[in-house]
Amino acid sequence: MTLSPLEPRNFEDVKDDLFLKHDLNLYNFVIKLNSKLREKNISITAVENLNTDMITEGQFDHIDFPDKWTNVLDLRSAIELFTPFYQLFLTSNDFVRASNSLQLDETIAIYSSQILGTPGHLGLVNNKHPMVPTTTYSAAYRLVLHGLAAETLHEVLVNVKLGKFKDGIMTP
């Protein structure tokens, strides 16, 4: 399966439809993965020796935001204002897919728990079910939940990579 990694380093990287590419990458990955699993009649199971080479251990480079008078909104308010403009410049199909991709957190968490053989962290994901789309009115709330779920899963995977997560238990 061909992947399209995204590694934004500055504002220029974000300008090139980064959010749309991220959303569509995620959505298309789940669709293609499930198609291949059905086609080959296999299911996701625990992996004994998980390859964690692509998991980064350190902090990502953070983009420095300009310190201007325009920095008055909190993240959720800014997203709520951004969403209608985001929708305006996308096709209807792309916007619906991008919006619904926020609800794939539970699907990704299920895949992760199956691969890791640890269902315990599924309780941290509460972004609703991808088969029952919600309206875009709560996009900011769902996007913040999506970020929290992604960061939590990343931390779990970093701990797996560092050997601190064995048999579903964190070790010092």
Q: Which residue has the tokens 């699993």?
A: 37
Within-domain flag for 139:
yes
Within-domain flag for 5:
no
The domain total for the chain is 1
Return the closest-CA partner of residue 11 out of 59, 80, 62. Answer: 62
Range of the domain at 86: 11-46+73-170
Within-domain flag for 61:
no
- As given in the structure block, the two tokens for residue 120 are 């315990």
E strand spans, 58-150: none
Return the closest-CA partner of residue 121 out of 149, 160, 144. Answer: 149
User: What is the amino acid identity at position 2?
Assistant: T
- As given in the structure block, the two tokens for residue 73 are 């909104």
Answer whether 0.85 is exceeded by the pTM: no
pLDDT tens for the chain, residues 1 to 172: 666 777 777 777 777 778 778 877 887 888 899 999 999 999 999 888 888 888 888 766 666 777 888 788 888 888 888 888 888 888 888 777 777 777 777 788 888 888 888 877 666 666 555 566 666 677 778 788 888 888 888 888 888 888 887 666 767 7
Within-domain flag for 40:
yes
